[in-house]
Amino acid sequence: MTVVPFTTARFTPADLAEWNTVAQPKLARGLWEAVERSSGPDFDRLVVRFPNLERPVFRFERDRRGTYRLLFNDRRGWYEIGSGSTAEDCLAVWKGRLPRTETKAAEAQTV
């Protein structure tokens, strides 16, 4: 039997599940029109389109090193708004505020 190695440039099923926690509510409410996927030897990419807008607005990608990036297109080009070594880290910008550490919570109580 031949085993084909899984390239680090591809999203894993866990990555796509994490993406879906962000995308599904936005798609269901009509805030996003579509999500399109494209893949190549050095990348895997999800592109978000808004209703009534010709250009894509957001791009979530993984490169061959396994690095995740979230980019925003403001008509002048793509700008990175998130990155990380996991899909969860990269998409944290859409998950709300990061939890406070116990030290910061303790400091806030003493003030």
Residues 53-101 have pLDDT tens digits of: 999 999 999 999 999 999 999 989 999 999 999 999 999 988 765 545 5
Average pLDDT over residues 97-111: 52
pLDDT of residue 111: 47
Please list, in sequence order, all residues whose beta carbon lies within 8 angstroms of the beta carbon of residue 8, skipping any fewer than 6 positions away: 62, 64, 65, 66
Cα 46–49–54 angle (5° rounding)?
130
pTM to 2 decimal places? 0.79
The three-class DSSP label of residue 92 is helix
Q: Who has greater pLDDT, 4 or 42?
A: 42
Q: How confident is the model at residue 39 (pLDDT cuts 50, 70, 90)?
A: very high
Nearest-angstrom CA–CA distance, 17 and 26: 15
Please write the tens of the pLDDT for every residue from 8-30.
899 999 999 999 999 999 999 99
Q: What is the DSSP letter of 63?
A: E
Query: Could you tell me which of 58, 55, 54 has the C-alpha nearest to residue 46?
Result: 58
